């Protein structure tokens, strides 16, 4: 249902780049990490792990800084790190220098430690969870706080361009209970997504689960036909369904795929039911070709591959292994998860190839170009594991190092230009140089 839109000619101009949105990040930024889960928004990179260079024997710490509480992940763009955190009654947006960790600029605004609808698990999280979004065409940064403060800033200076206080402007009810489980509401958790001239945000409002804003001035363009409450995942993901630009999200009710083409803005393409007790569907979905992968724990202790067409969604396979936090990573026909252990599945069939190691609840993975898997997990342990291409039948750990130890490793690990950026929920951010042992400096691949 299209609730608000410009004229059709304006919309055609607005959406002219949407068809390329799934490629834009990787082409424009190379080894930058400009979005939630990287340039391709899927936890993969064209960078090497640099295992052969020897940097994993003892990764050299370049710097360590405090950037504020929260599970929001850092971005790395053109020699700068962008972060969102909470400290001293404020949400803080910071730009740091990648070489030194020096603060280039920091902007802050008053904000609660938890969203106004929050309920439950306050000992496990605090501060903002949504990862910022960078737009290469405008050089702007978009952030979403846990209490719904949506802001657009100039990335170079931190200057505020526009803002939308979502909880004030939209009716966003508290997330419902699921069955007999306790109620959970962690506030706004989803990273905004730039799609051409639009910014797509999962709000969970009574008038639309997803809302499209004009990325330049913040005007509301449309609201989705689906009015499901928001989920608790890391954010929507662009995908192309039979030539039609769409966006997919795991919201409160399950998979939602929504159209982004001008004549059908906000219309539902497909839904697949997947409610999770406590609304804890924390792992984001992963897009690969014509399919998405869903995974969660609690009453839905499974991982499933769902094929999406313009006619709807159908299950390809389902496997009784799950990830509670780590979003699936797909590389060369294999799926990787990290929850309690590292698990490898066959993408075509869902068959378990191998499992092993110990990770705890929190976790995130990066699949590298030299067929390795970087795992950031537990209370701050960094590991390197051979992929199924190198080790088809068994879990093979190459390296494991404690990096942080105070709070959970909820934020996603980042790899950019030979450096790893590891952050924990308490706001400690560490930059590790994987090229240091060979005497090389990080360069573009």
Q: What are phi and psi of 63, to 5 degrees?
A: -165, 165
Is 297 within the bounds of a domain? yes
Distance CA 280, CA 231 (A): 8
Is 428 within the bounds of a domain? yes
Which pLDDT score, from 0 to 100, does residue 370 have? 96
Structure tokens at 24: 């834009």
Over the chain, what is the mean pLDDT?
A: 92
Which pLDDT score, from 0 to 100, does residue 406 have? 87
Is 445 within the bounds of a domain? no
Do the strands 193-195 and 160-165 form a parallel or antiparallel pair, or are they unpaired?
A: unpaired
Closest CA to 185 of 252, 241, 132: 252
Q: What percent of the chain is modeled with pLDDT above 90?
A: 88
Which pLDDT score, from 0 to 100, does residue 58 have? 84
Tell me the CATH number at 178: 2.130.10.10
Which pLDDT score, from 0 to 100, does residue 436 have? 55
Q: Which residues, including other chains, have CB under 8 Å from residue 246's CB and lie 6 or more apart? A: 238, 239, 240, 257, 258, 259, 260, 269
pLDDT tens-digit series, residues 173-187: 999 999 999 999 999
User: Sheet holding 208-214: strands in order across?
Assistant: 193-195, 198-205, 208-214, 220-223
Q: Which residues, including other chains, have CB under 8 Å from residue 349's CB and lie 6 or more apart? A: 317
Is 62 within the bounds of a domain? yes
Distance CA 134, CA 141 (A): 5
* pLDDT for 300 beyond 50: yes
Q: What is the mean pLDDT of residues 428-440?
A: 76
Closest CA to 45 of 56, 60, 32, 36: 32
Distance CA 437, CA 54 (A): 6
Is 274 within the bounds of a domain? yes
Is 444 within the bounds of a domain? no
Among positive and negative, which fits the CA dihedral 283, 284, 289, 290?
positive
Q: Is 12 helix (H, G, I), strand (E, B) or coil?
A: helix
Q: What is the mean pLDDT of residues 408-423?
A: 97
pLDDT tens-digit series, residues 1-60: 444 444 333 443 444 444 334 333 333 333 899 999 999 999 999 999 999 988 898 889
Is 180 within the bounds of a domain? yes
Structure tokens at 421: 């950026």
Q: What is the mean pLDDT of residues 322-334?
A: 96
- Identify whether the C-beta of residue 430 lies closer than 8 Å to the C-beta of residue 392: no
Q: What is the mean pLDDT of residues 204-220?
A: 98
Structure tokens at 322: 């799950």
pLDDT tens-digit series, residues 305-318: 999 999 999 999 99
Q: What are phi and psi of 195, to 5 degrees?
A: -130, 95
Q: What percent of the chain is modeled with pLDDT above 70?
A: 91
The domain tally of the chain equals 1
What is the domain extent for residue 112?
A: 8-438
Q: Which residues of 243-290 form beta strands (DSSP E)?
A: 244-250, 254-259, 268-273, 286-288
Closest CA to 80 of 416, 330, 328: 416
CA distances from residue 25 to 42, 276, 281 in whole angstroms, order as listed: 11, 31, 26
* pLDDT for 352 beyond 50: yes
CA distances from residue 109 to 37, 254, 387 in whole angstroms, order as listed: 26, 33, 43
- Identify whether the C-beta of residue 283 lies closer than 8 Å to the C-beta of residue 323: yes
Top pLDDT among 347 and 298 is at: 347
* pLDDT for 445 beyond 70: no
Distance CA 152, CA 201 (A): 13
Q: Which residues of 71-192 form beta strands (DSSP E)?
A: 75-77, 80-87, 90-97, 103-110, 133-135, 140-144, 149-154, 160-165
- Identify whether the C-beta of residue 203 lies closer than 8 Å to the C-beta of residue 144: no
Q: How confident is the model at residue 140 (pLDDT cuts 50, 70, 90)?
A: very high
pLDDT tens-digit series, residues 232-273: 999 999 999 999 999 999 999 999 999 999 999 999 999 999
pLDDT tens-digit series, residues 403-414: 998 899 999 999
Structure tokens at 218: 């913040």
Closest CA to 360 of 342, 345, 333: 342
pLDDT tens-digit series, residues 103-119: 999 999 999 999 999 99
Is 2 within the bounds of a domain? no
Strand partners, 224: none
- Identify whether the C-beta of residue 332 lies closer than 8 Å to the C-beta of residue 341: no
């Amino acid at each position: 249902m299209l609730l608000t839109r410009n004229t059709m000619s304006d919309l055609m101009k607005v959406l002219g780049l949407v068809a390329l949105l799934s490629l834009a990040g990787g082409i424009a930024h190379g080894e930058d990490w400009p979005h939630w889960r990287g340039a391709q928004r899927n936890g993969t990179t064209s960078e090497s792990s640099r295992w052969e260079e020897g940097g994993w024997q003892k990764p050299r710490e370049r710097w360590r800084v405090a950037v504020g509480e929260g599970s929001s992940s850092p971005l790395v763009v053109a020699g700068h790190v962008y972060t969102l955190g909470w400290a001293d009654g404020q949400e803080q947006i910071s730009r740091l220098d990648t070489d030194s960790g020096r603060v280039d600029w920091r902007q802050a605004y008053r904000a609660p430690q938890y969203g106004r609808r929050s309920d439950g698990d306050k000992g496990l999280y605090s501060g903002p969870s949504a990862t910022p979004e960078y737009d290469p065409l405008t050089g702007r940064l978009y952030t979403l706080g846990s209490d719904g403060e949506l802001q657009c800033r100039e990335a170079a200076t931190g200057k505020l361009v526009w803002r939308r206080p979502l909880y004030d402007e939209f009716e966003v009810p508290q997330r419902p209970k699921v069955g007999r489980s306790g109620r959970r509401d962690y506030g706004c958790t989803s990273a905004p997504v730039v799609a051409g001239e639009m910014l797509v945000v999962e709000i969970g409002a009574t008038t639309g689960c997803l809302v499209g804003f004009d990325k330049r001035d913040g005007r509301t363009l449309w609201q989705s036909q689906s009015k499901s409450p928001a989920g608790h995942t890391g954010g929507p993901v662009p995908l192309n369904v039979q030539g039609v630009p769409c966006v997919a999200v795991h919201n409160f009710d399950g998979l939602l795929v929504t159209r982004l083409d001008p004549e059908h803005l906000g219309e539902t393409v497909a839904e697949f039911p997947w409610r999770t007790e406590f609304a804890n569907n924390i792992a984001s979905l992963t897009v690969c070709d014509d399919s998405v992968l869903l995974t969660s724990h609690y009453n839905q202790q499974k991982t499933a591959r769902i094929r999406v067409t313009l006619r709807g969604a159908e299950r390809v396979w389902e496997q009784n292994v799950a990830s509670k936090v780590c979003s699936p990573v797909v590389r060369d026909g294999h799926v990787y998860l990290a929850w309690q252990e590292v698990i490898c599945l066959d993408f075509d069939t869902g068959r378990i190839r191998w499992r092993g190691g110990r990770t705890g609840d929190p976790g995130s993975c990066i699949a590298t170009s030299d067929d390795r898997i970087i795992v950031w997990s537990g209370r701050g342990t960094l590991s390197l594991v051979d992929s199924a291409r190198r080790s088809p039948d068994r879990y093979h750990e190459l390296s494991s190092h404690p990096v942080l130890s105070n709070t959970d490793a909820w934020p996603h690990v980042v790899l950019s230009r030979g450096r790893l950026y590891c952050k924990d929920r308490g706001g400690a951010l560490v930059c590790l140089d994987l090229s240091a042992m060979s005497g090389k400096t990080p360069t573009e691949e």
